[in-house]
Amino acid sequence: MLNILVIGNGQCGNRILDSINRHAMGGGKNCNKLAKFYAKQKFKSHVETLAFNTAVNDLKEMKFTKAKDRVHIPHLHGVGANRNVGKQVFEENKEMIMRQVEERGNFDIAFVLTSASGGTGSSFTPLLVREMKNRYDYPVYCVVVLPFREEGTLYLQNTAFSIRDIRQSGADGIILADNQYLKNIGGNIEEAYNGINDMVAERLLFLLDALDSEMMMVTDLGDFKTVMSGGAGLATIGFFRADKEMPIKTTIQNSLSPSGLLFSTNVYEEASRAMIVIKGDRKYLSIDEISTEVEKLSGAVGHVFKGIVVRDGEYPQVLSLLTLESAHELEKLYNVAVQAIHYEKAKKQRVEEGIEMKKTFSQIEGMEPEY
Ligand code: GDP
């Protein structure tokens, strides 16, 4: 049995963690809010969860994560999207934060969930990962959510710097999920968030389940590590669950298609290594079809690990983990972020020089009020 630690930082990280806990309590959308008081998470592995936040309201909003797993780092009401403030708050509370991690025990693998663009999660995550890598031997993977592109200049510049910082923190890999790419989920913003969080949670749970399953064809933690070390430190996940009888060939293709992926990439061009995990009733698992699809992928990307989990009576589901050699979409995001940084810099300079205000006050220069 694997020992797994999942940490959610900041609002986005907390909410995805809460979705993981809801699913693990056997809850679909209707899982009872009281579940956290009496239900036991049904992870196959030994899973510990921890949520860190500077905003107490974000922690209170969590419905399926136990109180002992929600850790408030006192600092007014969040850090206002300022990563410098966030980093300082982390440093000031580092020992308290690391004590929480320490108390959870030792692990085989850890995941840290965060948005790239906010203040708390994006500044805590690289510092937390660095501390964890200094203190423990287990691999630490980050699941990083990219912003909607129209969310503003501060979020864009935070994204550019936080991803760089996470890469430099010693993280063993970054799994990308992109709000912008996934926004076609529809509904209002809250529903879109919930939909995206559920997608990420479902994929991570599938992955954890697969890593700890008896398989007909094996993928294990070692394979996962090899795949994750394959690309440029970046990865994403595709997934498809058939809700009716469907050839396994189509299920695999769907998991690799734009509607199955968490981040925009042309798998056949940008992927560097892959792991495909197939689950379902034996009658859907045609080895010929599986081999053909896997060969097609490995012809393009190099090495593909495959795992098969037999589940009687279940329609086929496929999870594809892909590390990326290049990421055109991320490059585009950095282009926009650079413009945002220039924009903010020019604005700051104008304000510091007081150009606009000088213009305003110059209008009354040499004048006195007349009564
Ligand atoms: P923090 O609490 O200061 O770390 O900031 P947030 O996690 O709220 O970061 C803001 C970014 O996260 C924005 O780009 C939001 O679109 C995104 N975000 C906030 N909440 C959620 C959520 O529940 N799900 C998803 N997918 N994105 C979120």
For the CA of 121, the closest atom of ligand 1 is 4
Q: Residue 311 and residue 218: Cα distance in Å, rounded?
A: 15
Ligand 1 close to Cβ of residue 138 (< 6 A): no
Whole-number Cα distances in Å, 143 to 98, 237, 315? 20, 10, 28
Ligand 1 close to Cβ of residue 316 (< 6 A): no
CA-nearest residue, atom 9 of ligand 1: 118
Ligand 1 close to Cβ of residue 120 (< 6 A): yes
Instruction: For the chain, 371 residues long, give each residue's pLDDT as a single digit of tens.
Output: 899 999 999 999 999 999 999 998 876 555 555 555 555 667 778 999 999 999 999 999 999 999 999 999 998 777 889 999 999 999 999 999 999 999 999 999 999 999 999 999 999 999 999 999 999 999 999 999 999 999 999 999 999 999 999 999 999 999 999 999 998 877 788 899 999 999 999 999 999 988 887 766 667 899 999 999 998 999 999 999 999 999 999 999 999 999 999 999 999 999 999 999 999 999 999 999 999 999 999 999 999 999 999 999 999 999 999 999 999 999 999 999 999 999 999 999 988 888 778 889 999 999 999 99
Whole-number Cα distances in Å, 273 to 24, 267, 269? 29, 10, 11
Position of tokens 């710097």?
161
Ligand 1 close to Cβ of residue 115 (< 6 A): yes
Q: How far is the CA of 12 from the centre of ligand 1 (A)?
A: 4
Give 360's contacts (C-beta < 8 A, 6+ positions apart).
Answer: none
Ligand 1 close to Cβ of residue 75 (< 6 A): no
CA-nearest residue, atom 19 of ligand 1: 12
Four-residue CA torsion sign, 306, 307, 308, 314? negative
Q: How far is the CA of 362 from the centre of ligand 1 (A)?
A: 43
CA-nearest residue, atom 28 of ligand 1: 12
